[in-house]
Amino acid sequence: MGDGDVESTVALLRRPEAYPDAPRAVAVVETHMSWVFLTDEHAYKLKKPLRYDRCDFSTPDLRRTNCDEEVRLNRRLAADVYLGVSAITRESNGRLALDGRGTPIDWVVRMRRLRAEHMLDAIITSRRTAIEEADIRASARHLAQFYLTAPPDPISGPAYRKLLEDGTRDDMQELLRPRYGLPGDRIEALARGQIALLEQRASLFDRRVQADHIVEGHGDLRPEHVCVRPRPAIIDCLEFAKDLRVVDPVDELTFLALECEHLGEPRVGMWFLDAYRHATGDEPPALLQDFYRVYRALRRAKIAACHLNDPTVRDQERFAARARDYLASVDPVKVDVNRAPV
């Protein structure tokens, strides 16, 4: 799809008359990788024709494959949200249409629209919406049941530890770039503590693999992806990179708890972890949770810092401050080889 087709497709999807439900208006949200077009009741996601190290959306066939995968994977936790894949077609008169009778030239993911005020991040940060523990725990049970029934991934213990070590080293290397101006001593202390734990307490991680606790999970479990009302749904998993979805549920839930804490509500993450423990009987050692908390803080700091490489980002200091906040929110994991990992 050339630049002209991209512009024409975006122009089509901006028009209310393009949709079968004749919405009153269409709102558009643009991200680095897609455009999302919001009608009264639905959302349509159009992938940008881009290629990155981990994903390739550069051709219509690749975009269709990715759309199909996005629907398949997200139906695991949001079956009634992901409705299917629709075609952008070129009709006999040369015009484009949504699900027309002509030749498909591109594809969009079609979803039921969720209300922003029903998402967990909005509920936490809104002063007008009370945090109802019963609602949160219903979402937590929905997620815990998913982990309980997810088949274990066939990864080995050494391969899982290497995945974690490689991720830690990559994050450290990026965060230490001088242009970010981040505290190098602290970054190295955090990363070195992680690597030491992986080396000196290998059994802590190998037991997670042996107990079938490593599964194909969500991959990006943040509060803005958790719909609490009127019924639980978890959306927007990382469909394009399976290696980022191969996780310990305790890792994902610790990540969610960290994000809830950064929004100002540490109780919410604990409710999710409690629901997981109750559903699965899994009681993860505190040392393991400490490791995952630092692991995710380093990753989130790196993601924030990488915004500083984009000259189009206006408020760069906001992202620099966010990276510093993540680094300051955790301490290096202390490894005592004589202490049991409990």
Write down the pLDDT at residue 336.
Answer: 62
Q: What is the pLDDT of residues 289-325, one digit of tens each?
A: 999 999 999 999 999 999 888 877 778 889 999 999 9
Write down the pLDDT at residue 340.
Answer: 53
Mean pLDDT to the nearest integer, 256-263: 96
The three-state (H, E, C) secondary structure of the chain, written as one string: CCHHHHHHHHHHHCCHHHCCCCCCCCEEEECCCEEEEECCCEEEEEECCCECCCCECCCHHHHHHHHHHHHHHHCCCCCCCEEEEEEEEECCCCCEEECCCCEEEEEEEEEECCCHHHEHHHHHHCCCCCCCHHHHHHHHHHHHHHHHHCCECCCCHHHHHHHHHHHHHHHHHHHCCHHHCCCHHHHHHHHHHHHHHHHHCHHHHHHHHHCCCCEECCCCCCHHHEECCCCCEECCCCCCCHHHHEECHHHHHHHHHHHHHHCCCHHHHHHHHHHHHHHHCCCCCHHHHHHHHHHHHHHHHHHHHHHHHCCCCCCHHHHHHHHHHHHHCCCCCCCCCCCCCC
pLDDT for 1 beyond 50: no
Write down the pLDDT at residue 5.
Answer: 84
pLDDT for 338 beyond 70: no
pLDDT for 4 beyond 90: no
Q: What percent of the chain has pLDDT over 70?
A: 95
> CA end-to-end span of the chain, whole Å?
55
Res. 225 pLDDT band, cuts 50 70 90: very high
Report the candidate in 151, 145, 114 with the shortest Cα–Cα distance to residue 245: 151
Write down the pLDDT at residue 3.
Answer: 46
Q: What percent of the chain has pLDDT over 90?
A: 84
pLDDT for 66 beyond 50: yes
Q: What is the pLDDT of residues 100-109, one digit of tens each?
A: 999 999 999 9
Two structure tokens written together for 183: 């505290």
Q: Are 93 and 231 in contact (CB under 8 A)?
A: no
Q: Does domain 120-328 have CATH number 3.90.1200?
A: yes
Write down the pLDDT at residue 270.
Answer: 93
Write down the pLDDT at residue 54.
Answer: 79
Q: What does the radius of gyration of the chain's CA atoms come to, in whole angstroms?
A: 22
Write down the pLDDT at residue 341.
Answer: 54
Of 50 and 82, the structure prediction assigns the larger pLDDT to 82
**How far apart are the C-alpha atoms of 40 and 11, rounded to whole Å?**
18
CA angle 69, 213, 154 (to 5 degrees): 60
Mean pLDDT to the nearest integer, 207-218: 97
Mean pLDDT estimate for the chain:
93
pTM (predicted TM-score): 0.91
Res. 241 pLDDT band, cuts 50 70 90: confident
Write down the pLDDT at residue 312.
Answer: 77
Write down the pLDDT at residue 32.
Answer: 83
Report the candidate in 151, 179, 152, 194 with the shortest Cα–Cα distance to residue 296: 194
pLDDT for 130 beyond 90: no
